[in-house]
Amino acid sequence: MRAPSLSLAAVVAAATVLVLAAMTPAAEAGLCSKACDKWSPCCVPSANGAFCANQAWGCMESEGCDKDSSYNKMCTPRPMCKSFREDFNSPASLIDKYNYTGDPDAVHFWREFPGADYAEVENGNLVLSLKWNDKLGRGQGATIPSVRWMQYGTVSARIKTASGPGVVSSFITKTDISDKVGDEIDWEFIGANATEVQTNSYWNGNIDYTRGKQYLLPAGQSTTNEYHVYTIDWSPERIKWQVDGNTIRTMTPADVKNEFPTAIARVYFSVWDGGCNQPPGTTKWALGPTEWCNDASKRGDVKKMYIDWVEVKCATEDSRDTKEFKPTIVPPTSASGANNAPKSTIKGTSSGTTTDESAGGSSSSKNPKDGGDNGATSVIASIMAVSVPIVAAVAALF
């Protein structure tokens, strides 16, 4: 999301550093300093280098897996669109990224920043929470992307947004967490103005806030007090934004001089603090400051965004067998001499924790008046620390 009409970038990008979400491997041969072995077969880029991973997410081309350094060119293909409906009736419908098994049909959404994302499945809803964080000096929220990618189709979600000045909820499609890469189609909701919804789109990393449009809900309706169904209907000919089945905006390539979103994208949900310890333009757009900025008595409050269900209808279905997405990773105990695969450590992090920046729960949003990133900045670095054991020598990353 990006500030005025943001997109999930602002929440997700606090991770402008999360360079691997959708980026393809670098062209030069061998990102990793050594070729990866069968115990940790997949070479993945990070903010401070590259490392050999022994988890399925690290073997995904969509996460930047580099075939030249990976064992037997292990990288698995990007999971593309397969139509589904997720009602969030089970806690198992949301996982940490690092618990992904390699089966893109097993779960539809993951926590992009495990340990930093406040997101749970509760009472039939995906609940994204925004909580005060002392170290950040603002709220820490959540960034939740889909596992599969799409290029054209319809995405609908029944949502009740978070309330309060400075609080921003987002529902978007986006090519990459970084605002500087790819395309984006946005729904943005300002918690201090529950009678209005905002729409926008971005193309090829170009941030143009003049495309943003606002829409007032019918009298008596609210984004924060009740659920509404928000839809992105995306085709090569036009994008339609719909509220409760009613089209409120249509955009064609001609409307934007052919700077029209066409790149593959994931579905994202996020909630973030746009009104505290942010650039002035962002705070103004988010109708901040956020209550807890100057009032410590408010710092125990929790702002929540609720997603009741999500439905994706693909323009093109991915018919590949899910076996194609599952890498072969040899457990260390199966190796000759048992346990002779080296254990890996991730510098700068501890199990289950993340850096202060990653805890921001915001994407790399920008405001036209600020001209710079306003999300937390060095997310990926610490995010890689997980409570899942990683069996591989890893070259000083993060």
Residue 94, phi then psi, degrees to nearest 5: -135, 130
Looking at the DSSP bridge assignments, the partners of residue 282 are none
CB 33 within 8 A of CB 52: no
Question: What residues are annotated to the active site?
Answer: 184, 188
pLDDT(194) > 80: yes
pLDDT average, residue stretch 131-147? 96
Which has the minimum average pLDDT: 50-59, 96-105, 306-315, 379-388? 379-388
Q: Which residue has the higher pLDDT, 143 or 206?
A: 143
Bond from prior residue into 114 cis (ω within 30 degrees of 0):
no
pLDDT average, residue stretch 284-302? 97
Closest listed residue to residue 161, CA positions, set 110, 116, 125, 120: 125
What does the pLDDT look like over 3-23, one tens digit per residue? 443 334 343 333 333 333 333
State the CATH architecture for 9-15+80-314. Sandwich (2.60)
Which has the minimum average pLDDT: 264-268, 304-308, 336-340? 336-340
Question: pLDDT value at position 342?
Answer: 36
pLDDT(31) > 90: no
What does the pLDDT look like over 346-356, one tens digit per residue? 322 222 333 33
CA dihedral sign of residues 351, 355, 358, 361: positive
Distance CA 218, CA 116 (A): 36
pLDDT(305) > 90: yes
Contacts of residue 153, Cβ cutoff 8 Å, sequence gap at least 6: 81, 83, 234, 312, 313, 314, 315, 316
Distance CA 40, CA 343 (A): 10
Question: pLDDT value at position 207?
Answer: 75
pLDDT(363) > 70: no
What does the pLDDT look like over 155-169, one tens digit per residue? 999 999 999 999 999
Distance CA 100, CA 326 (A): 10
- Please classify residue 378 by burial: count the beta carbons closer than 10 Å to its beta carbon, then call 0-12 exposed, 13-18 middle and 19+ buried: buried
Question: Pairing between strand 119-122 and 125-133?
Answer: antiparallel
What mean pLDDT value characterizes the chain?
81
Question: pLDDT value at position 1?
Answer: 53
Question: pLDDT value at position 176?
Answer: 86
pLDDT average, residue stretch 100-119? 95
All structural domains of the chain with their residue ranges: 9-15+80-314
Q: Which two tokens stand for residue 74?
A: 């292990």
Q: How many CB atoms lie within 10 A of CB 294?
A: 9
HSE toward the beta carbon, residue 25, CA cutoff 13 A? 26
